Structure 1
Amino acid sequence: MNITQEKVDSLNSILKININPEDYQPKVEKAIKDQAKKAKLPGFRPGMVPAAHIKKMYGKSILVDEINNLLSDTLNKYIETENLDILGQPLPKIDDSKEYNWDFADNFEFNYEVGLAPVFDLDFTSKDVLTQYVIKVDDETLASRIKNIRRSYGKMTNPDVSADDDVLYSQLEQLSPDGSVFEGGINETASVRLDLIKDEAIKTSLIGLKKDDVVELDIQKAYGNDAAKIAGLLKIDEEAAADLKSNFRLTVKNVNRLEEGDLNQEFFDKLFGEGTVTTEEEFRAKITEELESMMAQDADRKLQDEIYNFATGKVNFELPDEFLKRWLKTTNEKLSDEELTEGYAEFSKNLKWTLIGNKIVKENNIELKYDEVFALAKQRLDAQFRMYSPQPLTEEQLGQYTVQFLQNKENANRIFEEVKGLKVFDYIKSIVTLDKKEISYADFSALVAQ
């Protein structure tokens, strides 16, 4: 057996594998004998089926399997031995001019295309300047957060007249162009939250309404043409919501208002545990601390995005694009040409980032320890549980869940890659110059939304 590499260019190669009868015959004969011992065929006692009979019935399929196994082992060993840094997996190169008899005496030749990772240098320096935002907790943001928390622990009331932030429990009926109810059209009861209404004029028209009041609603204008919100409100799919042109008759069935919870000891204990917070000043300090932590995370995510875009833009190298496109099509049968064209730029950018990260880890001997993977998985699970329960899990419970979580190979790999990514970000942050800039939460949110 012989395997050789023919360089097409610096990013593409052809691996040629020649397999002779003496390479595969012993493996095929052994596989035939093993199957003869296990076969259960009419007319033969178990384990007594002649190998010649098995060869006659299943020989070609066994031969194909063994050739495939031999090819896979040979490719993997060659790639490892030669230290080939490949992208994707080798792709068989079809040659219709070659025909084989599969009669246990053929000399086979198989060609595989491989895409090679590019050679490149990293040139991050302190002359590279990136903005690191420091988000300020302003009074408006703090007040809004406190209001939302108090409402989460408040009680529902039913005032006579609607006000800002109320919810109108309503009947929504689809109208014809002439203003009459469209027969057979959408007719749904729905909770219309005034805080979600985008158009100020429409929002104003919904304030001051009482039970049984009727108004006409331009639903697309009200929700800023947000198909997802309209679909959820009317219980239709997003495509239908996007195409919806009709106005609706809104009949108020009830006005619901979520009153804010009182700032008392019972409220503090529900939020932070018994006796942890005892005054309104301590409560505000706790919420400020929580906001600062959230904002620091938001700012760090923004910086990571900046580093990602900066690094993938600064480090210049080519990829074996045509090979990678063929590989993507081969490994994703349902991927259309249009989807490939639309998504390839993002795929190649992510691949560039992966190659940059791998090089940083290798060249700087950055270690990835299990303790770090465990700690991050534990942190992610803790945040997830807190979304559904205000009462945190004990350290012992959280540790047990983390062990179970990491026993899943896919989960473990995902967290491992996340740890590696964080270390790559930290390395780049230690090299470039970070220009710290204070910014209000409102301005930061507008910046992220751009």
Structure 2
Amino acid sequence: MNISQEKIDNLNAVVKINIDAADYQPRVDKAIKDHAKKAKIPGFRAGMVPASHIKKMYGKSILVDEINNMLSDTLNKYLEDEQLEVLGQPLPKPGDEREYNWDFADNFEFNYEVGLAPAFDISFSADDKLTQYVIKIDPDTLASRIKNIRRSYGKMTNPDVSADDDVLYAELTQLSPDGSVFEDGITNTASVRLDQIKDEAIKASLIGLKKGDELVFDIQKAFDNDAAKVAGLLKIEEDAAADLKSNFRLTVKNVNRLEESDLNQEFFDKLFGEGTVTTEEEFRTKITEELESMMVQDSERKLQDDMYKYSLSKVNFELPDAFLKRWLKATNEKLSEEELQGGYSDFAQNLKWTLIENKIIRDNKIEIQYEEVFELAKIRLDQQFRMYSPQPLSDEQLGQYTVQYLQTKENANKIFEEVKALRVFDYLKSAITLDKKEILYSEFSDLVKA
């Protein structure tokens, strides 16, 4: 057997594999004998089928299988021995198809295109600077949070006339373009929250309504074309909601108002435990601390995103784009040309980040232990369980679920990649200069959206 590499350029190569009869014959003979021992063919006792009979009946298919196995084993070993960092997987070279007799005497030649990872250098030091935001809660955000908490512990009333932030319990009826009721159209009774109405003019028209009042409105405009919101109100599929063009008639059945709880000791004790908070000032301080603690995660996500973008900006290397596009098409049969072209830029950027990650890990000898993967998987599962049950699992139960979860290769790889990214971010935070800067939450939100 002969295997060689022809380098096309720094990012592309062709690996040529030549296999002759002496290479594959021993493997084929063994496979035929193994098949003969297991074959159940009428006229022969089990395990006593002559190898010559198996060769006559199944020889060509066995030969094809063994050649394919040899190709896979040989190609993988060659790439490992040569320490070639390939992107994607090797692909048969286009236009290189050959006709073979498959008569146990052929010599075979196969050519594979490979995409090579680019060589590059990247380093970080104290001269590299990024901003680490310390988020402070602004008065509007604090007021909004306090209002939501007070309403959560408040009581429901039914005023005669609707006001801002009320909920209209109403019948929604689909209308035809001429204003008549759409025959066999959509009708549903739902709770319409005025604080979720995005269009100010429509929101204003829903204020001042009383039981029995009717109003025609553009439901798509009201919710800023949020298909999920419209689908939920009308109890239809999101796809149907996205395509909906009709106006709707809203008939008020009731006006609901959630009154805010009083800021008294009973309310404070429900929230924080008896005697922990005794004044409105302490209450506001406590809510501020809780919000700012929650904002630490938002700040960390922003910093990680900035480190990601900054790392990408520090190096400028090309990828074997033509090969990678062909590989994506070959491994995703349903991928259209439009989807490929539209999504390739994001794919290439994520691939570049993966190469940078791997470079940082190699250069700095960062080792990822199984215990780290296990602990992160445990945290992620705990977060999922808490979404559905307020009662947390015992540590023993959570550990058992984690073991089961990581037995699936896809799950283990997903968590491993997350751990790898976190370790790289930790390294970057220790290597570069982080300038801490206080910022109000409202300003931080605008910064993230920009």
**Mean Cα displacement is larger for which, 419-428 or 106-115?**
419-428
> 5 Å matches for 1:391-406?
391-406=391-406
Counterpart of 1:373, as a letter, is V
Task: Say whether 1:164 aligns with 2:178.
Answer: no
Task: Say whether 1:18 aligns with 2:37.
Answer: no
Q: Secondary structure at the match of 1:9?
A: coil
Q: Secondary structure at the match of 1:178?
A: coil
Query: How far apart in 2 are the matches of 1:268 and 1:368?
Result: 45
Deviations 1:88-134 (A, max 9, x none): 11111244563210000111111111111110010434333322222
Report the CA distance between 1:313 and its aligned residue. Answer: 2.3
**Mean Cα displacement is larger for which, 9-18 or 252-261?**
252-261
**Mean Cα displacement is larger for which, 322-331 or 153-162?**
153-162
Give structure 2 stretches of 5+ with no counterpart: none
Report the CA distance between 1:425 and its aligned residue. Answer: 1.5
> 5 Å matches for 1:174-189?
174-189=174-189
Runs of 4+ in 1 over 6 A off after TM superposition: 262-270
CA RMSD of aligned residues (A): 2.4
Tell me the residue number matched to 1:253: 253
Q: Secondary structure at the match of 2:356?
A: helix
Report the CA distance between 1:9 and its aligned residue. Answer: 0.6
Tell me the residue number matched to 1:327: 327
Q: Secondary structure at the match of 1:44?
A: coil
Query: How far apart in 2 are the matches of 1:198 and 1:100?
Result: 68
Tell me the residue number matched to 2:113: 113
Q: Secondary structure at the match of 2:8?
A: strand
> 5 Å matches for 1:327-346?
327-346=327-346
Report the CA distance between 1:254 and its aligned residue. Answer: 2.0
Aligned partners of 1:175 and 1:246 also within 8 Å: yes
Tell me the residue number matched to 2:82: 82
TM-score, length basis structure 1: 0.92
Query: How far apart in 2 are the matches of 1:375 and 1:446?
Result: 34
Query: How far apart in 1 are the matches of 2:374 and 2:355?
Result: 25
TM-score, length basis structure 2: 0.92
Task: Say whether 1:444 aligns with 2:444.
Answer: yes
Q: CA 1:146–1:49 in 2, change beyond 3 Å: closer, same or farther?
A: same
Query: How far apart in 2 are the matches of 1:59 and 1:324?
Result: 36
Report the CA distance between 1:249 and its aligned residue. Answer: 1.0
Tell me the residue number matched to 2:411: 411
**Mean Cα displacement is larger for which, 46-55 or 344-353?**
46-55
Query: How far apart in 2 are the matches of 1:279 and 1:290?
Result: 17
Query: How far apart in 2 are the matches of 1:57 and 1:253?
Result: 78
Q: CA 1:381–1:141 in 2, change beyond 3 Å: closer, same or farther?
A: farther
Q: CA 1:148–1:394 in 2, change beyond 3 Å: closer, same or farther?
A: farther
Q: CA 1:97–1:324 in 2, change beyond 3 Å: closer, same or farther?
A: closer
> 5 Å matches for 1:131-146?
131-146=131-146
Paired residue total:
449
Q: CA 1:96–1:377 in 2, change beyond 3 Å: closer, same or farther?
A: closer
Tell me the residue number matched to 2:57: 57
Q: CA 1:265–1:414 in 2, change beyond 3 Å: closer, same or farther?
A: farther
Aligned partners of 1:277 and 1:283 also within 8 Å: no
Aligned partners of 1:271 and 1:390 also within 8 Å: no
Aligned partners of 2:90 and 2:115 also within 8 Å: yes
Counterpart of 2:77, as a letter, is K
Query: How far apart in 1 are the matches of 2:265 and 2:336?
Result: 60
Give structure 1 stretches of 5+ with no counterpart: none
**Mean Cα displacement is larger for which, 380-389 or 75-84?**
380-389
**What is the identity percentage for the equivalent residue pairs of Structure 1 and Structure 2?**
76
Tell me the residue number matched to 2:361: 361
